[in-house]
Amino acid sequence: MAKVGWMGFSVHSMADTNAALRHIESLTRETTRVQERIATGMKVGSARDDGTIWAIAQGMRASNGAREASLRSIDMATGVVEVALAAAGGISDLMVEMKDKLVAATDASLDEGSWRILMSDYIILGNQMNRLAENAEFNGINLLNNGASDLSILVGDDAGDTMTIAAENLIDGGGIVDVALTGTLPYSNTAHIVSQPDQAMVATFEQSMNDVNAALSRLGTGLKTLQIQRELLTKQYDATAKGIGNLVDADLGRESARLKALFVRQELGIQALEIANRAPRSVLGFF
């Protein structure tokens, strides 16, 4: 019987000891991974952790990066359109005053000095209207001045996802506005005003007012569309960010519990190793 017991041990292979060591090494590697997940807050921090999940997450991050660029584009464009809209609203208000002066100046009962004074006020208001259009600039972009270009805005996660806000030339004589300004004041006198206005001039002015209000409507619609696009992009960005988190973020509560369990298993493994190490030494008892 003693011989059979002795043959159960091998001082060369020490199988039980090696098994205990492999178990401890496995626990150590897993403990390191859990500690990394707790430290970084991520269960998939690189392709080494899970190549498929990491690749999917990277694609989603790229989409959100493009959405961030689009949000910046929309914010810039919103500033441009808001400034243009404010200036166009001021132009419309000035045109209301101008119409009062113009209609009053058509009164045939007025003497020449009176209607010239009214038309002088009309031209002053028209000059202010032009200045509003010329100064309606944000970040170097003006939608209301002569030669203004349409504004193209990124609104999605692809370079082809764009919308356009059309330029609205509100300078007198630019196509939308035609108020027949005969000069730039101040002048020393009103001699440049060559004739008293008539109903044809009033009709032309009213058409310009309608055209300016239509331009205001287009700008307002463009601004509203930008706001809707921004809300959509923000929701898409947030939903994608949440999806990325679901894929790669670690559950810190669960990882913490797992780490505690691994510590306990490591202690048990060390005890198992000690037991395994004592077994070969018992061979000495046979001698």
User: pLDDT tens digit string along 111-133?
Assistant: 988 998 898 888 889 889 999 99
Assign residue 151 a region (left: φ > 0; alpha: ψ between -120 and 50; beta: otherwise).
Answer: beta
* C-alpha to C-alpha distances, 259 to 20, 29, 64, 114, 231, nearest whole angstrom: 20, 12, 33, 93, 41
Neighbouring C-beta atoms of residue 109, cutoff 10 Å: 6
pLDDT value of position 1: 42
pLDDT tens digit sequence for 23-67: 667 777 777 776 676 666 667 777 877 889 889 998 999 999 999
Predicted local distance difference test score (pLDDT) of residue 196? 85
In whole angstroms, give the CA distance from residue 75 to residue 144. Answer: 19
User: Which segments within the chain are labelled E, that is strand?
Assistant: 137-138, 141-142, 151-154, 162-165
For the chain, the C-alpha Rg in angstroms (whole number) is 40
Fold of the CATH domain 51-248? f41 fragment of flagellin, N-terminal domain (1.20.1330)
- Residue 15 has a pLDDT of 63
Domain coordinates of the chain in residue numbers? Answer: 13-41+251-280, 51-248
pLDDT under 70 in the chain at which residues?
A: 1-21, 23-24, 34-35, 37-42, 181-194, 249-253, 255-256, 259, 262-266, 268-287
pLDDT of residue 169: 94
| pLDDT for the residue 234 | 94
Rounded to two decimals, the pTM is 0.73
Candidates 148, 150, 120, 152; CA nearest to 134 is 148
What pLDDT does residue 2 have?
Answer: 43
Token reading at 117: 């004074």
Amino acid at 74: I
**Cα dihedral 153→154→155→157 (10° resolution):** 180
Q: Give 111's contacts (C-beta < 8 A, 6+ positions apart).
A: none
Query: Alpha-carbon distance 197 to 206, whole Å?
Result: 13
Query: Would you state the structure tokens that stand for residue 210, as one six-digit string?
Result: 């309608």
Give the bridge partners for 177, in sequence order: 172
